[in-house]
Amino acid sequence: MTISIERLEISGLRNFCHLKLEDCRRVNILSGPNGAGKTSILEAIYLLGFGRSFRGNQLVSAINHSMSDCVIYCELKKNTLNYHSLGVGRTRQGRQDFHVNKLPVKNITDLAKILPLQLINADTFALIGGGSKARRQFIDWGVFHVKPDFLGYWRTIQRSLRQRNHLLKQQKALRHGRIYPPEMAAWDRELVACSISIDELRRQYIDDIRPVFNEILHRLTSDLSDLSLEYQRGWKKNVELQAVFEENFERDTSLGSTTNGPHRANIDIRVKGMPAIDVLSRGQLKLVISSLKLAQGQLLKRQQGQKCIYLIDDLPAELDEGHRAALCALLDEMESQVFITTVDADVIENCWKNKSVVRQFHVEHELTTK
């Protein structure tokens, strides 16, 4: 299933009062000087698929100072025949609305299923150098899009963890005479059952994506053949989660939170046994991150017949001419729609075999096309 954005409208987001991108192609190059708003266009598309910004959690601060709300709307082209429209609105008071085909929907997951997005920008370096949350989100994005059961398990785990942590905080307040609360047993049973299920889905996903990732990384560079991806489930190997909860009860009570479980899952990324962040250059890190993102798109296409839309902020940064060309060639082969920002469009405009699939939008105070 090929989904692409054909038309995008942005109202009230950052420095844009109103902006339209029409007749979007498979490759859309957003060029212009720094500060012109190129990244804000990527942010608008990201809002349609995630319901939040990648530039901070406070979307209210992103609303244009002269407007009361921001609205993002797009028309999608699906299999060249059927059109869908998606919309996201946010007011200064914090109200958020989601629409599919101009009809309201309650959850952003309804939009996310229709519009799978992959972002590559400076912040995605956290996928290797940051905490485990970024890597856990990477796994869960993939599992969400290929395993229908995942979302139910994930929601149950979040609810059970909130309740369990609430009981731990109550126990912490007692200071003396702590006992394992009997009501915690019910939440533990639910949490343990869903944790086993979600762990299996995550483990299978990493096993599936690993060979795809290795293939793509080899296409981009031959210098990282010793890089490895290992899944970590978030609690001790060969130990039942309930036993881990009981063993760590005093520690968890002191902290007021559950220290082990599926919410601590991670991917260990190493080169020759060393943490990748400690041995790779900035350019090599970008190649690894790009390979991970492209591998997710490739696996989604193979398993679900659906293509991602890629949002790439400042593609030329950290990459020399040869690596830029190799990355663009892979994107070209995947035939996924891409939106790429760059200060100088000439650097990447000639990286695509078929020039008819490329459209350049110049962003500088107003939008012009080429």
37: domain CATH number? 3.40.50.300
* Residue at 368 is within a domain: yes
Give the integer Cα–Cα distance in Å for 193 and 170.
24
Q: 242 with 190, same domain?
A: yes
348, 328 in Cβ contact below 8 A? yes
* Residue at 168 is within a domain: yes
C-alpha angle with apex 298: 296 to 303, nearest 5 degrees? Answer: 95
Q: 347 with 268, same domain?
A: no
CB within 8 A of 248, min separation 6: which ones? 259, 260
In total, how many domains does the chain have? 2
Give the integer Cα–Cα distance in Å for 188 and 343.
53
Q: 30 with 7, same domain?
A: yes
Look up the domain containing 102 and give its range: 1-116+306-370
**Which CATH number belongs to the domain containing residue 139 in this structure?**
1.20.1050.90
| pLDDT number for residue 176 | 63
| pLDDT number for residue 257 | 94
Taking only Cα atoms into account, the Rg of the chain, rounded to an integer number of angstroms, comes to 22
Residues of the chain with pLDDT under 50: none
* Residue at 131 is within a domain: yes
Give the integer Cα–Cα distance in Å for 251 and 171.
11
* Residue at 121 is within a domain: no
Among 285, 303, 321, give the residue marking a domain's end.
303
Q: 314 with 299, same domain?
A: no
Give the integer Cα–Cα distance in Å for 370 and 357.
12
| pLDDT number for residue 60 | 79
Q: 254 with 336, same domain?
A: no
Helix (H, G, I), strand (E, B) or coil at 31: strand
Q: 291 with 323, same domain?
A: no
Q: 231 with 275, same domain?
A: yes
| pLDDT number for residue 142 | 96
Q: Which residues pair with 104 in a beta bridge?
A: 99
State phi, psi for 56 to the nearest 5 degrees. 130, 155
| pLDDT number for residue 79 | 60
| pLDDT number for residue 62 | 84
| pLDDT number for residue 116 | 94
State phi, psi for 246 to the nearest 5 degrees. -70, -40
Q: Which residues pair with 118 in a beta bridge?
A: 310
DSSP state of 63: B
| pLDDT number for residue 298 | 96
Give the integer Cα–Cα distance in Å for 257 and 266.
18
Q: 319 with 202, same domain?
A: no
| pLDDT number for residue 287 | 94
345, 40 in Cβ contact below 8 A? no
Among 248, 279, 303, give the residue marking a domain's end.
303
Q: 242 with 344, same domain?
A: no
Q: 222 with 268, same domain?
A: yes
The predicted-structure confidence for 178-215, as pLDDT tens digits, reads as follows: 677 788 889 999 999 999 999 999 999 999 999 999 99
* Residue at 336 is within a domain: yes
Q: 143 with 261, same domain?
A: yes
